[in-house]
Amino acid sequence: MLVLENINTYYGYSHILHDVSLEVKEGEILVLLGRNGVGKSTTLKSIMGIQAPKTGKITFEGSDITGLPPFKVARMGISLIPEERRVIPNLTVLENLKLGMLIRGKEVNREETMENVVFKYFPRLKERLHQLGGSLSGGEQQMLTIARALVANPRLMMIDEPTEGLMPLLVDEIGEIIKKLQADGVTILLVEQNYRLALGLSEKQRAYIMEKGHIKMSGSPQELQERHEEVEHYLGVKL
C-alpha cells in the first residue's frame, strides 16, 4: 500500500534518514520502534510531505507522492496524528472535527459522521463539543486528534506516539481504539515507545526497528521476540 524506497531526509545540513526503505501492507498495523531521535517522527513527516526527502521515492497505492505538499498527501487518503497532538486550541471540539471533515467536501453528511464515527469511537467527546480545543485534558486532546483524523476517512493513519504522557488507564484505551480502527479497515503506521502495547495489538502486525536514521530489523512480534537480544540492544530496554 505504502512503499518507501531508499529515502534520505535532511534538516538543513544534518542528514536524518539514511536510505530508509519500508513497506506498509493494506490492513496491517506497522509499528516503528527505536530510541528517541532515531528518525521515527521524521519518517512520518517525510511521508506526509512536511519534511520532504532529498532522494528516494515514496509511493502510495501505486502513485508517486514523493515531495507532494501535506494537503495533497492528505487528499490521497493519508492522515497524520502528530506527536504534539496539535488540537487547534482556539476552535471548539466540533470545529476541530469539522476541519477534519472538510477534505471530503460536499459528499460528507456532517451530522451522520458525528453520530456514526465520532461518538461511536469517542462517546466522551459528545459532552465536550462546544468547549474550546485548548481547554481539553491531554487524554481528551488525543481522542480529539484521532477523531479528527478519522472523520477524513483515511485509508492509512499515521499515529505518532499516541500514549506519550497519558495515564495508564488511557494508554489501554488508546490501544483498544487502534485495534478497533484496524478492525474497521484502516491501515495503521504507528510510532510508539510503549513496546508492550505496540507489539501486542493484533495478529496482523509487523514492526521495523530504527537506529540513527537507518532501518535495522523488521519482523512480526514473534520474530522480534525470538531475536530479543538484538532488539533489546537497539531499543535499550528489556522487551
**In the bound complex, what is the minimum distance in angstroms from residue 223's beta carbon to another protein?**
33
Evaluate the CA torsion angle 221, 222, 223, 225 in order and state its sign.
positive
Q: Report the interface residues with another protein, using CB under 8 A.
A: 48, 50, 69-71, 74-75, 79-80, 82, 86, 88-91, 95, 98-100, 102-103, 148, 152
**In the bound complex, what is the minimum distance in angstroms from residue 99's beta carbon to another protein?**
6
Residue 69 CB contacts under 8 Å (≥ 6 apart), including other chains? 49
Q: Which is nearer to another protein, 103 or 129 (CB)?
A: 103
Q: Which is nearer to another protein, 3 or 103 (CB)?
A: 103
Q: Which is nearer to another protein, 181 or 201 (CB)?
A: 181
| Phi, psi for 148 (deg, rounded to 5) | -65, -35
Strands (E), 25-155: 29-33, 55-60, 63-64, 78-81
Evaluate the CA torsion angle 211, 217, 218, 221 in order and state its sign.
negative
Contact 118, 153 (CB under 8 A): no
**In the bound complex, what is the minimum distance in angstroms from residue 82's beta carbon to another protein?**
7
**In the bound complex, what is the minimum distance in angstroms from residue 57's beta carbon to another protein?**
21
Strands (E), 145-196: 156-160, 187-191
**In the bound complex, what is the minimum distance in angstroms from residue 134's beta carbon to another protein?**
9
Q: Which is nearer to another protein, 88 or 239 (CB)?
A: 88
Q: Which is nearer to another protein, 106 or 238 (CB)?
A: 106
